[in-house]
Amino acid sequence: MQKASRLKRELQMLSTEPPPGITCWQTEERIDDLRAQIVGGTGTPYEGGLFSLEINVPDRYPFEPPKMRFLTPIYHPNIDNSGRICHDALKLPPKGAWRPSLNISTVLTSIQLLMTEPNPDDPLMADISSEFKYNKQLFTEKARKWTQEHAIQKNMGVLKGNKDNTPDSKASSRKREAFEVYQEAVEPPKKTCV
């Protein structure tokens, strides 16, 4: 009962006052099965990308942290190939920092911050961590390439009306408009020769 009422409050807060660059909604009728999207931060290799996450809320929530993973492939030292995230807020003490006072919004915000500032000293992907530490230019190039290949293409899939990935038609419309503006900036309209 506590889980359901708390989740309803959190989802209401996420829909009325979402953190900048983050959206979150429930799938189908199950309140404990959520989806979220994080916009890649400006000035990062993830800029322009829209990254989808899956959130499973355990029965003992808020006494246990939600289980989150990226559905969109991302090149990051703290996120593995299956989307698992190495972050203290997703683990119980003594190894983690989850507390019942945290909520889904704060965890999503901290994951967004982790995307901006990776933690190479606590990696999930040792090779990417090493690259981040000792060859940042190569890391940045690869991360940008992955963003272009995976996060921006996923963007187009969401925009073409994939209702499983969008919380509502207004959000879809906003994403479509944002993507069209982005596309115009990246690829100016082609002129036809007469």
Catalytic residue numbers read 86
Place of tokens 């800029």: 47
Rounded Cα distance, 86 and 43, in Å: 23
Least Cα distance to 160 among 147, 179, 145, 146 occurs for 179
Rounded Cα distance, 170 and 166, in Å: 9
Which phi and psi (to 5°) does residue 146 adopt?
-60, -40
Whether omega before 94 lies within 30 degrees of 0, making that bond cis, reads: yes
Q: What angle do CA 80, 175, 146 make, to 5 degrees?
A: 30
Partner residues linked to 23 by β-bridges = 37
Cβ partners under 8 Å of residue 7, min gap 6: 31, 32, 57, 61
Query: What are 44's two structure tokens?
Result: 């990062």
